[in-house]
Amino acid sequence: MATKPEKPAVPDEKLVRRSQRGDMVAFEELLARHRDKIYARAFSMMRNEEDAVDLSQEAWVKGWQRLKQFHGDSSFVTWMTRIVINLCLDQLRKHKRQRAESIEHLDQELGGVERQMPTVTVNPTEGLERSELRARIDRALKLLSHEHRTVLILHEFEDLEYKEIAKRMECSIGTVMSRLFYARRKMANLMASYKREEMG
């Protein structure tokens, strides 16, 4: 007996239109498709599961409330990602006012440390399986301060320009540039150190 062909998935645009008319089943389907990505973005910025779950849920609630403002200029998941990024940035700003800065983080912010790091000339990720590369990137990202990690995420993973990052992070373009520079140099040196560890 011939197997039935699978029904093609309803495109996001259609689900969004249904959701805009109040169809919560359609919205649930959108959530099911993209919840991991939205959660992952929140987690990469907050580095805390509980905060990431709370903020990603808040993003979905806001997404539902603001659906009528979505006009399809970008994809739905890009639009949702922007919502969760803004929520994470707000939360990080609140945290920054409350938390004491470690000496290391103050060093990072003051700058100058990145200029003392040796230039990495050999690609430390050559030959790595993708999963191993991602694991090392994750390990290195944990060691950055929130500010440096955020600017790296917004530039490298969200593909935002300096000007847009500065606007979102409420800082100058110069600050974005120096934080990005530090973050990249730190990442390169950390990846090189992991390679040295592996080689014994």
Partner 1 sequence: MNLEQQLELQAWVDGELSSADATRVAQFVGANAEASALVAELRMTKSCLVGNEPEVKLPESGDFYWSKIRREIERTARAEPEAATLSWAFAWRRLIAPLAGVAALVFIAVVSINQFQQPLVDDSAKNLVEVENLSEDIGSISYKSQAENMFVVYVYKKDYESESNLKSEPIDDGFFQ
**With CB under 8 A, what is the number of residues at the site for partner 1?**
59
Q: How far apart are the first and last CA of the chain?
A: 58
65 interacts with partner 1 by CB under 8 A? yes
How far apart CA 176 and CA 171 sit, in angstroms, is 7
Question: What mask of x and - would describe binding to partner 1 in positions 103 to 142, judged by CB under 8 A?
Answer: --------xx--x---xxx-x-x----x--xxx-xx--x-
With respect to partner 1, which residue has the nearer C-beta, 11 or 111?
111
Least separation in angstroms between residue 2's CB and partner 1 is: 32
How would you classify residue 75: left for phi > 0, otherwise alpha for psi between -120 and 50, otherwise beta? beta
Q: Which amino acid is at 68?
A: K
- Give the max Cα distance, the chain: 70
Q: Where are the alpha helices (DSSP H) in 66-153?
A: 76-98, 103-110, 113-116, 130-141, 146-152
Chain CA centroid to CA 120, Å:
25
Least separation in angstroms between residue 164's CB and partner 1 is: 8
Applying CB under 8 A, the residues found at the interface with partner 1 are: 24, 28, 31-32, 35-36, 39-40, 43-44, 49, 53, 56-57, 60-61, 64-66, 69, 71, 73, 82, 85-86, 111-112, 115, 119-121, 123, 125, 130, 133-135, 137-138, 141, 152-153, 155-157, 161-162, 164, 168, 174, 177-178, 180-181, 184-185, 187-188, 191
